[in-house]
Amino acid sequence: MRSLIDIKELTTQEIDELIVVAKDIIANPAKYSEKCKGKKLATLFYEASTRTRLSFEAAMYELGGNVLGFASSDNSSASKGESVADTVRVCSGYADIIAMRHPKEGAPLVASMHSLVPIINAGDGGHNHPTQTLTDLLTINREKGRFDNLVVGLCGDLKFGRTVHSLIGAMARYNNIKFVLISPDELKVPSYIKQELDKSNIEYVETRSLEEAIPELDILYMTRVQRERFFNEEDYLRLKDTYILNMSKLSKAKDDLSILHPLPRVNEISVEIDNDPRACYFEQALNGKYIRMALIMKLLGVE
Amino acid sequence: MILNTITNGVVLDHIQAGGAMEIYKALNLDKLECQVAIIKNADSVKMGKKDILKICEPIDINLDVLGYLAPGVTVSIIEDGTVVKRKHIEPPEKIVGIIKCTNPRCITSIEQELPNIFKLTDRENLVYRCIYCESKCKKQGDIK
Ligand SMILES: [Zn+2]
């Protein structure tokens, strides 16, 4: 029995296999509609995340399985002070696989130590969110048909954005990747990530200007710059527009740029871009369901 | 300085100069009834200056605590005036229940009964990380 707590637990070969299955699901959905018949997914969400939870639930239903669980800790055993270990010991008797979201870092790992069934980490605080990274990887692969020889731009909050950190870690394993890290000084990528890139001889540049960086990019991964990350309002107001993607900035980009965003978006991508063929963020959300279907099958050992 | 040699006991040698007191406290040597000598700033060919701890009783040393605090220390067990065992202490791969994770977002901050487990993730720089949240432990000062 195997869980997925951290994306680093998957080899590139296993990721490739998941992507092959996800693409086959997209091409032949009917073939998969009864793959998990009679199986149950428990969604244990100690913190509300409607988007992620619905994606997991839709994934299980499309595999012919069933779903049970809770959507926030308000009404659950957690609010009565039960430990993660105890909740999971009980729930793993009711379900064949568990997707857990928790505000505290490491809670899904604790769950995996006590569960009788596989645990999928559906986000633990600002720490790991492996199915988001798998979603990003499937999107890049579907858009580009490959993982190597790409210039990958990441823009916005690169300091606190965990999806950014995991994506850098995952993409750094492929050949000839160059990262362009676009952020204000206050929100630069943490130094330990840069040290890892240095150690592996992976090319990267840091810049404050999205406008200057955009022409060379193959992928642009946008994230939200949040007001609460700044010490004062002035800095936030001064900087926020610099990191908004609009038509004028996009006009300088390659024709085959792929724009990704983990969603929800606030204003960092203008709505005028939504209909541009380079916008991939809504397809990305859909890809999340397909890669979760592939992952559920893998962890349940369904062929 | 002249010190009686030990007949039965334990000697911790090659402690970084200035480090003896911390080890003294972490190993609870203050609770011992027997004689304990703390030697500060002894001359050392290898280290320039070093500290030494001499404990005049055959006690069990928690090698994980010692290896975490002071890798490189030599532990000598002395019986009837001769060294019967000498061990060079390496940093442990895993430390359980010795240091506490200080990350307020860590699951251990709300579930106190969970064992505090840290893994050595960078041997060169002696970095230990919490297995749950992967935070670096702040070296020293947070011994439980
Ligand atoms: Zn921790």
In a domain, A30, yes or no: yes
What pLDDT is recorded for position B16?
A: 92
The helices-and-strands tally (H runs, E runs) of chain B is 2, 8
pTM, two decimal places = 0.90
ipTM computed for the complex? 0.89
**CATH 2.130.10.10, domain B9-88, yes or no:** no
pLDDT of B2 higher than 70: no
Chain A residues within 8 A of B104 when measuring between CB atoms: none
Q: How far is A63 from chain B (nearest CA, A)?
A: 32
Chain A residues within 8 A of B131 when measuring between CB atoms: 106, 109
Same domain, A70 and A154: no
Residue of B nearest to A82 (CA): B111
Same domain, A90 and A197: no
In a domain, A2, yes or no: no
Optimal mutation site among A5, A7, A89, A104, interface B, most CBs of chain B within 10 A: A104
CATH 3.30.70.140, chain B: domain bounds? 9-88
Same domain, A198 and A103: no
Q: How far is A109 from chain B (nearest CA, A)?
A: 7
SS3 at position A266:
coil
- Interchain proximity A104–B131, CB inside 8 Å: no
Q: How far is CA A130 from CA A52, A102, A108, B88, in A?
A: 12, 14, 12, 41
Same domain, A252 and A273: yes
Q: Give the residue among A215, A218, A227 at the shortest CA–CA distance from A156.
A: A227
Catalytic sites of A, residue numbers: 51-52, 80, 101, 129
Same domain, A150 and A261: yes
What is the B104 CA–ligand 1 centroid distance (Å)? 8
Mean pLDDT for the stretch of residues B87-104: 92
What pLDDT is recorded for position B46?
A: 86
In a domain, A1, yes or no: no
Same domain, A160 and A246: yes
What pLDDT is recorded for position B143?
A: 55
Query: CATH number, domain at A34?
Result: 3.40.50.1370
- Interchain proximity B111–A83, CB inside 8 Å: yes
Q: Give the residue among A189, A256, A193 at the shortest CA–CA distance from A219.
A: A256
**CA angle, corner B95, sides to B92 and B97, nearest 5?**
155
What pLDDT is recorded for position B54?
A: 94
Same domain, A18 and A162: no
- Domain hosting A241: range is 131-284
Each residue of B6-46: pLDDT tens digit? 889 999 999 999 999 999 999 999 999 999 999 999 999 88
Give the separation between CA A30 and CA A144, rounded to whole angstroms: 26
Please report which confidence band the pLDDT of residue B1 belongs to, taking 50, 70 and 90 as the band edges.
very low
Residue A120 pairs with which residues in a beta bridge? A4, A99
Same domain, A68 and A152: no
- The one-digit pLDDT tens for each residue of chain A (303 residues) are 799 999 999 999 999 999 999 999 999 999 999 999 999 999 999 999 999 999 999 999 999 999 999 998 776 666 667 899 999 999 999 999 999 999 999 999 999 999 999 999 999 998 999 999 999 999 999 999 999 999 999 999 999 888 999 999 999 999 999 999 999 998 999 998 999 999 999 999 999 999 999 999 999 999 988 777 777 888 888 777 789 999 999 999 999 999 999 998 888 999 999 999 999 999 999 999 999 999 999 999 998
Sequence-ordered strand ranges (E) for chain A? 40-45, 66-70, 97-102, 119-124, 150-155, 177-182, 203-207, 219-222, 258-260
Q: How many domains does chain A have?
A: 2
Same domain, A99 and A179: no
